[in-house]
A and B are shown apart, each in its own frame.
Chain A
Amino acid sequence: MDRALIRRALGDKVQFIQGDDACAYGALLAGCNFFAGYPITPATEVAEQMSILLPLVGGCYIQMEDEIASMGALVGASWTGAKTMTSTSGPGFSLMQENLGYAIMTETPCVVVNVQRSGPSTGQPTMGAYGDMMQARWGTHGDHEIIMLCPASVQESLDMTIVAFNLSEQFRTPVLLFIDGELGHMRERLVIPDDDEVEIVNRPMFNGQGKYLPFATDASLVPTFAPFGSGHRTYVTGLTHNEQGLPRSSSAEIHDKLIRRLADKINNHRDQIIRYEEFYADDCDIAIITYGITARTCRDVVEQARSKGIKVGMLRLITIWPFPDDLVARWAERVQAILVPEMNLGQMIHPIREAVAGRCKVAPLFRIGGEIHTPVEILTALEELQCQLC
């Protein structure tokens, strides 16, 4: 797509906008030219913004009849070579699970934004939460890996949406970008990066040499792509398939090889996928491990606590899945306790405990109901932890 056109569509370089809009801006900058979605609070503004922007740059926006269809349209469009995105919230994300699995199985690049709200069921539509962290990991059936990013600011919502597209293209797999109702509707200063600051990755294309085997791979474990209509007559199926793409659903060997490759193509490249931020990593007794909007409060509390003499450090996870267990394990070696504030009743604390493996104490600080943690609440929890350690 025409970069100059994209910049004109986005307008001023510095803006004061909400997280949902920032995701849409990021998508456009990443080269997204197809969006299919269904309205849902608090994610609707992503779709609204895409419906404004995409026609300006010659892309396609389509409002589907539900989130099942949105996810299907995304996969279909992606196989024509389009860069595709949808946005939703908890109830819609539940509906997307079936075709999300299809996208994983068929190695279809696409980006799914989930602006989380409190569940289960309809829950609290206008309130933020991080209750879908495990659904993201295991929501669709069968063995699989997933890539998921959790930004913590409006600026990062834009930046990480671009990263989400790039990872999705590089590894030919759906990438989830998770924010929440608070971040989605929070307005902050946003600086639109210049073109030379935006890295754009495109899916590996078939080079035309020899016969095209749509699901054969080299050492990267990522197959090359040829879009529908390019004359290669590719067959795509959600059934277990061979390198040619043809169904071989009764073969244990082919299934084992395929499903392990789909997992390995992500797990073998964890160093390229995992993103995080550390504070006082080498000078702390207690660590906070957190992510998403909760990290905003925690960041302030770290300074307050240190000024009170509590030696606190912080690990902010940006990549949630694949889970950075080695990184968490290294933190567990260094500290005596880890505090895990989450806007749910305990989800990421499970892989954290697994990575910590008893090396140090892991303390939960869960909050639900739609409000973010207060600084006092986190500070008090740190003070209590400090007392317990003394």
Chain B
Amino acid sequence: MSTLLKPKTAAELRDLYVRQEMMPTIFCDGCGLGNVLNYTLWALDELQVDLNQVVFVSGIGCSSRLSGYVNSDGMHTTHGRALSFASGIKAANPNLTVIVFTGDGDGAGIGGNHLLHTIRRNMDLTVILVNNFIYGMTGGQSAPTTPIGGISSTTPYGNVEYAMDICALAMALEAPYVARWTVNQPYPPIKSIAQGIAKRGFALIEMLVPCPTAYGGRNGLKGVERIWQWYRDNTVLLDDFEHIMEFGTHEEQEEIKHKIKVGVLQDSERECFDEQWAKLVERVKL
């Protein structure tokens, strides 16, 4: 996999792709969003995409600030609505590469209905959904992804709601490309983001990132090392999961049963909205 990638340093990527006037970022120490930006720029570099033909769209929240850091056309929209704006851009000009940065609250909470229908429509978008289990920008309120029992500023006695599996939703709606990775696995997400951009149709890359400030501290995961370790302990590679479930012992199966599966979860082909629409226009245009 690494042979695919051009060895560029983070500083080189920054000079090539980052809007310098926007530096430094607003992110806290230990936040995983900088990593996600780095992986995304690396993927763009890998594909050698013409940045003049890329639009980064985002909603509201920490992750949605990412769009401003990339030196391309960008649209920082309203809370939860990034996919609506992105759909308008892509439908009106299918030649543009449209990449969406969103978060768990933005993309799956307030924007859940748009997520559902943008996938159903199979808009040719690459959606990098950064899941940190919390509403970070507003100071750590519970999100639709906060684990049950999790402590947040609005679940001070523990969260009584179940967390949603965003990738499972996308898979059920037959999104052509669905992958989930954590920030402490740098190379696979770079490859997935590149695959997502190259894929004609809806691509979801869910990135599990630490929020030491608003989530970690309240949940016994103070400090970057402990929260990264949590991701190592609580995730399992899809290939390993399948192998163990088929060949592993009962104990091994019990151990991984409730872990978060990471990997390329779905990779298929399905004609996207703009292809369908172009065919319709060809059929009926006067």
Contact = CB atoms under 8 A, between A and B. Distances in A.
Given A62-B91, A75-B85, A238-B78, A55 B68 contact: no
B280 interface: yes
Contacts of A99: 77-78, 81, 84
B52 A9 contact: no
Interface string B33-53: 000000000000000000111
A112 B74 CA distance: 24
A66 interface: yes
A56 B77 contact: no
A233 B74 CA distance: 7
Contact of A82 (B81, B83, B92, B273): B92
B71 interface: yes
Contacts of A75: 77, 85, 88
B78 A98 contact: yes
A69 B52 contact: no
Which of A78, A99, A233 is packed against the most chain B CB atoms within 10 Å? A233
A142 interface: no
A180 B236 CA distance: 58
A76 B86 contact: yes
Nearest to A234: B73
B178 interface: no
A82 B90 CA distance: 12
B220 to A, nearest CB: 34
A75 B284 CA distance: 26
Contacts of B270: none
A235 interface: yes
B71 A55 contact: no
Q: Please classify how large the interface on chain A is, using the bins under 10, 10 to 19, 20 to 34, 35 or more.
A: 35 or more
Nearest to A64: B84
Interface string B114-125: 101100000000
A134 B55 CA distance: 36
Contacts of B12: none
Contacts of A374: none
A236 B76 contact: yes
Interface stretch (A123-131, A239-247, A330-338): A239-247
Interface in A47-100: 55-58, 60, 62, 64-66, 68-82, 84, 98-99
Nearest to A83: B92
B73 A229 contact: yes
Nearest to A105: B78
Which of B73, B77, B280 is packed against the most chain A CB atoms within 10 Å? B73
27 contacts: A8-B286, A34-B92, A36-B91, A55-B280, A55-B281, A57-B285, A58-B281, A62-B91, A64-B117, A65-B116, A66-B113, A68-B114, A69-B84, A72-B77, A72-B83, A72-B85, A73-B91, A76-B57, A76-B90, A82-B92, A82-B93, A102-B77, A231-B52, A233-B72, A233-B74, A235-B73, A246-B19
Interface of B: 19, 21-22, 51-53, 55, 57, 67-68, 71-78, 81, 83-93, 95-96, 113-114, 116-117, 273, 277, 280-281, 284-286
Given A69-B117, A72-B84, 11 more contacts: A62-B87, A72-B114, A73-B88, A75-B77, A84-B92, A99-B81, A102-B77, A102-B78, A233-B71, A235-B74, A247-B68
Closest 7 CB pairs of A and B: A76-B88, A72-B84, A73-B88, A77-B92, A69-B84, A65-B117, A76-B85
